[in-house]
Amino acid sequence: MIFGDETGLPLSSEAGVLVLAAGQGTRMHSPLPKVLQKLLDKPMLWYLLTTLKRTFSSRPMVVAGHGRKRGEEACGSFETDLIYQERQLGTGHALQVAWDHIIRGGFKWLVVLNGDTPLIRPHQIQALLESVRSKDADVGLMSLELDDPGSYGRVIRSADGRVREVVEAGDFDARVHGPDVSEVNSGLYAFRISSLERILFQLDSNNKQKEFYLTQLISLAQQSGMTVEAVNAGRCSGLLGVNTPGELIHQEEYVRSCIVNDFIGQGVFIRSPDTVRIGPEVFIEPGSEITGPVEIYGKTRITSLSRIFSHCYIEDSFIDGGQVFCFSHIVESVIDSDTGVGPYARLRPGTRMRKGSRAGNFVEIKNSSVGAGSKINHLSYIGDTSMGEGVNVGAGTITCNYDGREKHETIIENKVFIGSNTALIAPGVLQEKSMIAAGSVITRDVPGESLGIARSRQKNLEGRSPLKNFKKSD
């Protein structure tokens, strides 16, 4: 899979890594920090930190700024050193802000990359660092080729092919820099720490944006007589940064197709694959069947012989050989083998459907266990309930589990039969083999093998129908 484990060991402790993730990303037109925009329900930063965890033995340093609290939450599941850039004055300034943390790490080399490049892979980082090491260079960068360089910084080379400078798109002037080029900066760098220290605080903001650009370090290194090494990755779209909603959607579609095609290659039957969205942490066994459009996210696990029909949403759930019919919504639930859910069913967090059970159309279940062979076929709500085996729940049944302040539990033991249009006021126990008459409002426990009935006696008032004198119009 595109985000599966790659061969090779993590880089040595001599190399540290810094992620630049402080920018707002105004071209995203969103109050959310750019690096927290999602691909397949995961922030861009999650993809990058997952890659770095597999690549470096040291903890990544992350420079956060705009939306600091949200950034901290996004990094919460990873071991990172978070650095706050109070004023966002450019990528070069971010590196300066992080300098004390970098020095304390005792690294010989530093890899720097942008938080908006979610598809960078471990082997690309390793290739750049190994190239710099082998050629005893001071600075390294990875470039790529684009037919339309657009908003990306241009890599300017001298006549002998050496990198002279990197010019931001807004500052590029053909009269000064020569004809436009197709080689652009990917935003992935490697620095020798001792060399970086000599030039880092020479950065200035003499550019159109009045920012301290990290890219200026390339020209400063050249002017100082340092060796600059560039590794051209060719036409590798995975190295592109994400700056706009269109670019985000393009990258997401690439990830989506890679994941879906990988599962198909492993033996998962995925029909209408272009309409199937599967998150990067989902696990699906060969022999499962999925028909799009479908969305499956989180740490969902689907075992062999499971079937997911179209128009379903599944998140952080375990489908163990069951069937999920069309238009069902399932979150943090477990569905055992030979179980049917839907169509138009909703399983909320904490639901367990045991072997052979059934939740039919327009059934909602929350924080409840449904016993083996039990059936809730239609139009019911079951909340905070422990249901035994072989229970039959009639249409329109609800458990009234909330009193306005607290939730209460309903216990339904084995082989209970509940008639239609019944309200079960929690807390309460329906003991084994009891029966509830249709239309009842049950407020007390019902003993085993008893009939519970709670409804007014029917009265027929003869001659009192409003329709008695009704005449059909012409």
Active site (catalytic) residues: 378
The answer to whether 202 and 162 have CB atoms below 8 angstroms apart is no
Q: Which two tokens stand for residue 428?
A: 């309460």
Measure the CA–CA gap between 186 and 181, rounded to whole angstroms. 14
378's enclosing H/E stretch is strand 375-383
The answer to whether 375 and 363 have CB atoms below 8 angstroms apart is no
Q: Residue 196, Cβ neighbours under 10 Å: how many? A: 21
Using N-to-C axis directions, what is the helix angle for 44-55 and 122-134, rounded to 10°? 50
Please name the residue that has the structure tokens 């750019």: 34
Q: What is the DSSP string of 420-459?
A: SS-EEESSEEE-TT-EE-TT-EE-S-B-TT-EE---PPP-
Helix, strand or coil for residue 397? coil
Q: Which two tokens stand for residue 458?
A: 């029917």
Please count the CA atoms within 13 angstroms of the CA of 393 that sit on its side-chain side: 34
Helix, strand or coil for residue 57? coil
Q: Residue 388, Cβ neighbours under 10 Å: how many? A: 21
Please name the residue that has the structure tokens 């079937």: 307
Please count the CA atoms within 13 angstroms of the CA of 356 that sit on its side-chain side: 9
Distance from chain centroid for Cα 371: 32
